[in-house]
Amino acid sequence: MNDIQRLPAVDRVLQQLPESIAAHGRQMVTACVRAELAAAREGLRHGLPLPDESTLYAAIRRRADEAGRANLRPVFNLTGTVLHTNLGRAQLAEEAIAAMVEAARAPCALEYDLASGGRGDRDDLVSGLLAEIVAGGSPEIAATIVNNNAAAVLLTLNALAQGKEAVVSRGELVEIGGAFRIPDVMRRAQVKLHEIGTTNRTHAKDFQEAIGPKTALLMKIHTSNYAVTGFTAAVDEKVIAGIAHGAGLPFVIDLGSGTLCDFAAHGLPAEPTPQQALAAGADIVTFSGDKLLGGPQAGLIVGRKDLIAKIKKNPLKRALRVGKTTLAALEATLRLYRDPDRLAERLPTLRLLTRPLDNITALAERLQPDVQGAIGAQATVSVAPCSSQIGSGALPVERLPSIALRLSPNAKKPGKALLAIEAAFRSLPMPVIGYIRDDAYHLDLRCLEAKDEARFVAQLQHLKF
């Protein structure tokens, strides 16, 4: 009998793997057994030794566990960017999570009017709440919800300006990460972009002179991911609104992030709100659900009731609408804004942005020995100041002072060692994502909350280089 014949039969191997079969099903484990046996046969042909059975079984278990693991996995976001687009932006409040789970589990009154037993409208689930939060409950204000803010801008432009022109300052023709560019969105919405002013300066007369028979609306776009400084001039929203209304045209503002609370009151840099935009005379504002608002991915279109009705009639609305779990999370998140006193405690985005520095420092000091113990002689771990950013294009210039664990490799040339450390943290059961700067690997601890500390520490034993 040669070594290849000595390899166990598939059925015999399967008998040794009852836990894997219970976890992943016989079909998947069988495929893993076949793959590992094939790899062993290939190894034998190339002169490798016959694997002992326990090694073989362990390899099959690993392969099955890997194949059975979800692709969308939770991670520790220690990048220092609180609203990290690639890591899913806002973490939802427990209230929003519970509402999503409920909506997912049972039938719900998504488009069903429980009072009359007739057909309902899914936007009504949040429209009144939004009017309450942004316009003191004005009956003239309504809202409609789509998949994200890019969709909100596309739909608004198509519904209000198709075949006509939208007037925008050249200083506001933004590109948001992931190929959202205002000129391209305009084209797709079948709206002609009428650029006015210059990159650094736009004046009221530029708006005035741009208005002609083809003009459908005036638009302002919040330059959320960059700042133009120096010799600049932009036109006040109230002035643009006055010019628009004088010509009988709507004024639309794409706010981007659009926090619903007063950031300055929480000690954060001021950020424009939909409240201010509407008060200044905007007829429609659009903003994201998962940026500073702290809710699910969604695009919120809020404003004048007649314009919202027109937007909702557009066929694109049907294509861009959101589902019940999104609406459940959005409604629950908006309800938190009714209690401003507890908002910073209950809304994770605000809680993380306003987290006191001494709280982050204390955590860093607690974790330093654990991380040093896990990394051993590879690197020296210290507690160091760093700066977090808000992310998602909100407040691009502002930084929040924070505290990091700084891992400085003990190797002479740190380049390779840094990449190895970064990869090791990324390979943990719950991957840890940090960043490399100034020849050190940093873990900004702003977004590691006390409730997750034990989980973070427990998995350090799996750190491997």
User: Site residues (CB under 6 A) for ligand PLP?
Assistant: 148-150, 153, 174, 176, 180, 221-222, 224, 254, 256-257, 288, 299, 393
Give the three-state DSSP class for 205: helix
Query: What phi, psi does 327 have (nearest 5°)?
Result: -65, -35
**Is-contact 102 123, C-beta < 8 A?**
no
Specify burial of residue 409 (Cβ count, 10 A radius: 0-12, 13-18, 19+).
buried
Q: Which is nearer to ligand PLP, 30 or 392 (CB)?
A: 392
Q: Which is nearer to ligand PLP, 20 or 149 (CB)?
A: 149
Least Å from the CB of residue 391 to ligand PLP: 10
Q: Which is nearer to ligand PLP, 157 or 241 (CB)?
A: 157
Least Å from the CB of residue 85 to ligand PLP: 7
Q: Which is nearer to ligand PLP, 112 or 180 (CB)?
A: 180
Give the three-state DSSP class for 58: helix
DSSP string of 272-294, one letter each residue = --HHHHHHTT-SEEEEESSSTT-
Q: State how far the Cα of 395 lies from the Cα of 273, in Å rounded to an integer.
A: 13
Which residues are registered as beta bridge partners of 83?
391
Q: Which is nearer to ligand PLP, 303 or 393 (CB)?
A: 393
Q: State how far the Cα of 219 lies from the Cα of 207, in Å rounded to an integer.
A: 10
Least Å from the CB of residue 302 to ligand PLP: 14
Q: State how far the Cα of 363 lies from the Cα of 393, in Å rounded to an integer.
A: 28
Residues 6+ apart with CB under 8 A from 422: 434, 436, 441
Q: State how far the Cα of 317 lies from the Cα of 444, in Å rounded to an integer.
A: 40
Q: Which is nearer to ligand PLP, 148 or 202 (CB)?
A: 148
Least Å from the CB of residue 213 to ligand PLP: 28
Q: State how far the Cα of 291 lies from the Cα of 396, in Å rounded to an integer.
A: 13
Q: Which is nearer to ligand PLP, 32 or 268 (CB)?
A: 268
Least Å from the CB of residue 256 to ligand PLP: 2
Least Å from the CB of residue 255 to ligand PLP: 7
DSSP string of 81-106, one letter each residue = EEE-GGGTSPPPPHHHHHHHHHHHHS
Q: Which is nearer to ligand PLP, 77 or 257 (CB)?
A: 257
Least Å from the CB of residue 152 to ligand PLP: 8
Least Å from the CB of residue 375 to ligand PLP: 36
Q: Which is nearer to ligand PLP, 20 or 288 (CB)?
A: 288
**Is-contact 353 395, C-beta < 8 A?**
no
Specify burial of residue 9 (Cβ count, 10 A radius: 0-12, 13-18, 19+).
exposed
Strands 165-169 and 435-437: unpaired
Least Å from the CB of residue 181 to ligand PLP: 10
Residue whose C-beta lies closest to ligand PLP? 256
Residue with tokens 């949040």: 126
Least Å from the CB of residue 299 to ligand PLP: 6
Supply 322's token pair. Answer: 């959101």
Q: Using alpha carbons, select from 462, 464, 449 the residue that is nearest to residue 77.
A: 449
Supply 377's token pair. Answer: 């002689």
Give the CA count within 13 Å in the CB-facing half-sphere of 455: 13
Q: Which is nearer to ligand PLP, 197 or 393 (CB)?
A: 393
Which residues are registered as beta bridge partners of 145?
300
Least Å from the CB of residue 323 to ligand PLP: 16
Q: Which is nearer to ligand PLP, 300 or 336 (CB)?
A: 300
Q: Which is nearer to ligand PLP, 174 or 424 (CB)?
A: 174
Angle at the Cα of 378 from the Cα atoms of 362 and 436, rounded to 5 degrees: 65
**Type of residue at 88:** G
**Residue 98, number of CB atoms within 10 A of its CB:** 14
Give the three-state DSSP class for 387: strand
Least Å from the CB of residue 396 to ligand PLP: 10
